[in-house]
Amino acid sequence: GFRCGIVGLPNVGKSTLFNALTETAAAQAANYPFCTIEPNVGQVAVPDPRLDTIAKIGGSAKIIETQLGFVDIAGLVRGASKGEGLGNQFLANIREVDAIVHVLRCFEDGDVTHVEGKVDPIADAETVETELMLSDLESLEKRVPAAQKKATQGDKEAKVAASVLGQALDLLREGKPARLTVPKDEDEARVFAQAQLLTSKPVLYVCNVDEAAAADGNELSARVAVKAAAEGAKSVVVSAAIEAEIATMAPADRVEFLSDLGLTETGLARVIRAGYDLLHLLTFFTVGPKEARAWTIERGSKAPQAAGAIHTDFERGFIRAETMAYDDYVALGGEAAARDAGKLRSEGKEYVVADGDILLFRFNV
């Protein structure tokens, strides 16, 4: 599955956030027989109001949300790229995730020590980013010359690597993240993705604020929002302490607690959705009397890959997919009406699945 890695300096609220995410997931664990993997990895349900609508129309007995993985990556300190603290392990863990959720301390609390001595989320973000950039820089300063040498010997793949990774190296030398690299063609895009540079991963800043600022943020989170916008990144405001409290409540109590704080949904819901958006994923649905269910695939995936998200046998024996757009399904009021209106299409192997499609697979076993 797809995974977001939670990173940040010590004492910013990473574990609090991670525990809130996984406690909420634990409360829903009945739906997920294979939910716990490792202690620092949690599978979390992605909230999607469309699923409730589909279940209502389809008369489904239950709903099953799609999931997103979160990994608590502890251990980043200044000097991590030089192996300080748990530096190397930390960087290896980041390499394995698809996106980075960067938690920034935007709350004041004299009882909670700040490793850098003062609360400054912009400086903190730069400390973490610098470690990641140094790590990429070090790795590319070995890889690029090696690729250049092979390229002069006529190695085509090395020529592609020398070009695209050379561009990334130039950016890093200017103090910019590798994600600003623009691959010239599909080959370069592939080699760049395979390089798994830490600073090429998409980033979401999570501003951890105190209770009073949970609804609207504060001056510190506003500064982070400006920084995020300038980088083409995203930011969300959350109070990890409140989320931890909410996670332990009964669902009925949550709604009241949230509305007292001026909130309509949990901060976790916003983090999960924003994390999902980072990954260039889309959601398709299946619906039947037993359950309405959401599934995740990468944008651009074709119908057989969507079938494969459900079961590998579905992909192998794929024949076609009966397809309805979510809007048609809702506007017409269900599958039978969609069929009568000619909105239930039969799509083949080359069909590129659209977000919100409701699919029924035909396959050979």
Rounded to 5 degrees, what angle do the CA atoms 124, 193, 83 make? 40
Q: How many angstroms separate the CA atoms of 275 and 277, rounded?
A: 5
| Region binding ligand GDP by CB under 6 A among candidate stretches 4-12, 29-37, 121-129, 254-262 | 4-12
Are the CB atoms for 183 and 175 separated by under 8 Å? no
The answer to the question of residue 12 lying near ligand GDP (CB under 6 A) is yes
Edge-first strand listing for the sheet containing 203-208: 41-45, 67-72, 3-7, 99-105, 203-208, 234-238
Q: How far is the CB of 108 from ligand GDP (least distance, A)?
A: 8
Query: CB-based burial of residue 296 (10 Å sphere; 0-12 exposed, 13-18 middle, 19+ buried)?
Result: buried
| Region binding ligand GDP by CB under 6 A among candidate stretches 84-92, 107-115, 184-192, 269-277 | 107-115
| Region binding ligand GDP by CB under 6 A among candidate stretches 26-34, 106-114, 179-187, 227-235 | 106-114
Edge-first strand listing for the sheet containing 281-287: 62-64, 291-298, 281-287, 358-363, 318-324, 345-347
The answer to the question of residue 10 lying near ligand GDP (CB under 6 A) is yes
| Region binding ligand GDP by CB under 6 A among candidate stretches 7-15, 76-84, 133-141, 168-176 | 7-15
Strand partners, 6: 72, 101
Site for ligand GDP, residues 193 to 232, rule: CB under 6 A: 208, 210
**11 marked as part of a ligand binding site:** yes
Are the CB atoms for 81 and 131 separated by under 8 Å? yes
Q: How far is the CB of 220 from ligand GDP (least distance, A)?
A: 12
267-290: burial string, b at 16+ Cβ within 10 Å, e else = bbbbbbbbbbebbebbbbbbbeee
| Region binding ligand GDP by CB under 6 A among candidate stretches 14-22, 287-295, 317-325, 328-336 | 14-22
Neighbour tally for 355: CB within 10 Å: 13
Q: How many angstroms separate the CA atoms of 144 and 84, rounded?
A: 25
Among residues 240, 246, 247, 294, the one that binds ligand GDP under rule CB under 6 A: 240
Q: How many angstroms separate the CA atoms of 22 and 44, rounded?
A: 7
The answer to the question of residue 14 lying near ligand GDP (CB under 6 A) is yes
* Cβ neighbours for 288, distance < 8 A, ≥ 6 positions apart: 58, 60
For ligand GDP, the closer CB: 243 or 335: 243
| Region binding ligand GDP by CB under 6 A among candidate stretches 165-173, 237-245, 254-262, 276-284 | 237-245
Which backbone phi and psi does 360 adopt, to 5 degrees? -130, 120
Residues written for the chain = 365
Q: How many angstroms separate the CA atoms of 266 and 254, rounded?
A: 9
Q: How far is the CB of 239 from ligand GDP (least distance, A)?
A: 5
The answer to the question of residue 282 lying near ligand GDP (CB under 6 A) is no
**16 marked as part of a ligand binding site:** yes
For ligand GDP, the closer CB: 239 or 283: 239
**15 marked as part of a ligand binding site:** yes
The answer to the question of residue 11 lying near ligand GDP (CB under 6 A) is yes
Q: How far is the CB of 179 from ligand GDP (least distance, A)?
A: 24
The answer to the question of residue 22 lying near ligand GDP (CB under 6 A) is no
Number of residues this chain uses to bind ligand GDP (CB under 6 A): 16
Among residues 239, 266, 283, 301, the one that binds ligand GDP under rule CB under 6 A: 239
**12 marked as part of a ligand binding site:** yes
Q: How far is the CB of 113 from ligand GDP (least distance, A)?
A: 8
The answer to the question of residue 109 lying near ligand GDP (CB under 6 A) is yes
Cα four-point dihedral sign 45, 274, 241, 93: positive
The answer to the question of residue 28 lying near ligand GDP (CB under 6 A) is no
Among residues 37, 92, 112, 229, the one that binds ligand GDP under rule CB under 6 A: 112
Nearest to 315 by CA among 335, 334, 295: 295
Q: Which residues bind ligand GDP (CB under 6 A)?
A: 8, 10-16, 107, 109, 112, 208, 210, 239-241
Q: Which residues are annotated as a binding site for ATP?
A: 11-16
Q: Which residues are annotated as a binding site?
A: 11-16
